[in-house]
């Protein structure tokens, strides 16, 4: 997919843009030396009807041609982020804004500066795209994927962050992960983030009434996702109510294709409020007796309360064939099939300590296969064709 399009005959600038993208921004770059401003439809034909997110009008494109192209694209593709490479002359900025140009980049910008501006352009595109979709009355809500476990220490946050990173590759800038382990949440450290805002800000009255204010409290992650991290201190968690959490998840589901929710161990009131909003529940257990029995008890309680979402996914994490237990033992105890098995892995533990999820790291490891299988279960194409395979026995 050509997520970025560059129009410029300048090969040096093209090389700098490609170097900026190589730093981790997903999506390809397609370069055109020239596009006829009188017939921009030629560009769409060359892209095979793909819809890019960012258009860069690079060096050596005549100013009049650039303004004409920007005007046409602003009408035909209003969500597109158009960047002009040129000197930011004050007299020219107003003309550029009127033509629909979103940002101006210096021709001498280095790859790091280009990358920052491209990330900003992608965020702008995602925001406008979601706003357009939300304005349509029959716009479907996004999936709300809750990650739960009655017991702590089973790798729940690791699973949640990897789901979010994996979905970020499927739907860049359309994924948000929310840390609802309000007292001791680890999503910030799991993603190596130092957030300026937290859930405390996101449930404020201003944010609950205006989704634009809410978006300002989200933290951008290099994996093309957003994060809403836990409060800075456990004391702040006491002021957050289940009703506020319900409203928060409703707002995010209206704005994002995927909302991944990492919850606290057990079944606290905030966790139950989140569960009621979930379209999917991922139940995580380790391959030890206390974790498995804890999951069985938790599922039994939720069945009696009729709180189990229609779509569930049981994940056997840190699976080990030498643990003395088998998959059949686990399934017999919890009364449900295991859907995904993730083997015990030093690479996963190392990536968690580094704050770089293993699906972002790109290294090869047996655990990656299981994590990708889990992410794949939220792909709309898979869900439309694989309902009969939703719960198949795994092998450790």
Higher pLDDT, 384 or 329: 329
> What is the predicted pLDDT for the residue at 39?
65
- The pLDDT assigned to 395 comes to 47
Is there a single domain that holds both residue 310 and residue 336?
Answer: yes
| Residues 238-247: contacts with CB under 8 Å, at least 24 apart | 239/200, 240/182, 240/199, 240/200, 240/203, 240/270, 242/269, 242/270, 242/272, 242/273, 243/273, 244/203, 244/208, 245/180, 245/203, 245/270, 245/273, 245/274, 246/273, 246/276, 246/277, 247/203, 247/208
The range of the structural domain enclosing residue 164 comes to 143-389
Residue 136 contacts by C-beta under 8 Å, 6 or more apart in sequence? none
For residues 282 and 275, give the distance between their C-alpha atoms in angstroms, rounded to a whole number: 10
Question: Distance between CA atoms of 292 and 378, rounded to whole angstroms?
Answer: 24
Residue 395 included in any domain: no
What are the pLDDT digits (tens) for 228-280?
999 988 888 888 999 999 999 999 999 899 999 999 998 889 999 999 999 99
Confidence of residue 125 (pLDDT cuts 50, 70, 90): confident
Contact 144, 259 (CB under 8 A): yes
pLDDT for 176 beyond 50: yes
**Domain identity same for 33 and 90:** yes
Q: Is the pLDDT of residue 160 over 90?
A: yes
Which CATH number fits the domain that encloses residue 78?
A: 3.40.50.2300
Residue 335: inside a domain: yes
pLDDT at 78: 76
- In angstroms, the Cα distances linking 259 to 233, 235, 277 are 24, 25, 10
The whole-model pTM stands at 0.65
Same domain, 122 and 187: no
End-to-end CA distance of the chain, in Å? Answer: 35
Identify the domain boundary among 134, 158, 185: 134
Q: Is residue 394 part of a domain?
A: no
Using 50, 70 and 90 to split pLDDT, how confident is the model at 353? Answer: confident
| 185 in the same domain as 94 | no
DSSP character string of 252-299: HHHH-SEEEEEE-SS--HHHHHHHHH-SEEEEEEESSHHHHHHHHHHH
Is the distance from CB of 337 to CB of 393 less than 8 angstroms?
yes
Same domain, 339 and 225: yes
- What's residue 50's pLDDT? 60
pLDDT at residue 388, as a whole number: 45
Confidence of residue 128 (pLDDT cuts 50, 70, 90): low
How much of the chain, in percent, has pLDDT values that exceed 70? 87
Domain identity same for 82 and 58 = yes
The alpha carbon dihedral of 351, 163, 117, 218 has a sign of negative
Number of domains in the chain: 2
């Amino acid at each position: 997919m050509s997520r970025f399009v560059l129009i410029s005959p300048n090969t040096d600038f093209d090389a700098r843009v490609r170097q900026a993208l190589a730093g981790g921004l997903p999506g390809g770059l397609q370069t055109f030396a020239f596009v006829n401003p009188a017939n921009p439809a030629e560009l769409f034909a060359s892209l095979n009807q793909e819809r890019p997110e960012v258009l860069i009008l690079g060096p050596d494109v005549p100013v009049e041609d650039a303004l004409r192209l920007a005007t046409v694209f602003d009408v035909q593709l209003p969500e597109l982020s158009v960047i002009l490479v040129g000197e930011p002359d004050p007299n020219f900025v107003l003309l550029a804004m009127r033509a629909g140009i979103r940002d101006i980049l210096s021709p001498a910008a280095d790859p790091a500066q280009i990358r920052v501006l491209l990330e900003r352009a992608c965020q702008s595109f995602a925001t406008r795209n979601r706003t357009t979709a939300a304005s349509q009355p029959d716009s479907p809500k996004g999936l709300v994927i809750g990650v739960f476990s009655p017991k702590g220490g089973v790798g729940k946050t690791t699973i949640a962050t990897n789901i979010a990173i994996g979905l970020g590759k499927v739907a860049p800038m359309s994924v948000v992960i929310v840390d609802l382990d309000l007292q001791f949440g680890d999503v910030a450290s799991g993603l190596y983030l130092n957030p300026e805002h937290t859930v405390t800000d996101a449930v404020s009255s201003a944010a609950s009434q205006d989704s634009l204010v809410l978006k300002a409290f989200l933290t951008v992650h290099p994996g093309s996702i957003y994060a809403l991290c836990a409060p800075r201190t456990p004391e702040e968690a006491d002021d957050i109510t289940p009703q506020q959490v319900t409203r928060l998840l409703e707002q995010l589901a209206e704005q994002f294709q995927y909302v991944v929710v990492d919850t606290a161990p057990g079944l606290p009131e905030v966790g139950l409020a989140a569960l009621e909003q979930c379209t999917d529940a991922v139940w995580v257990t380790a391959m030890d007796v206390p974790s498995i029995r804890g999951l069985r008890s938790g599922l039994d309680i939720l069945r009696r309360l009729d709180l189990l979402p229609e779509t569930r996914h049981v994940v056997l994490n840190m699976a080990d064939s030498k643990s003395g237990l088998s998959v059949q033992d686990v399934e017999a105890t919890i009364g449900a099939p295991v859907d995904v098995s993730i083997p015990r892995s030093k690479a996963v533990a190392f990536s968690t300590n580094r704050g770089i999820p293993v699906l972002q790291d790109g290294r090869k490891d047996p655990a990656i296969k299981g994590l990708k299988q889990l992410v794949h279960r939220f792909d709309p194409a898979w869900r439309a064709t694989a309902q009969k395979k939703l719960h198949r026995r795994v092998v450790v």
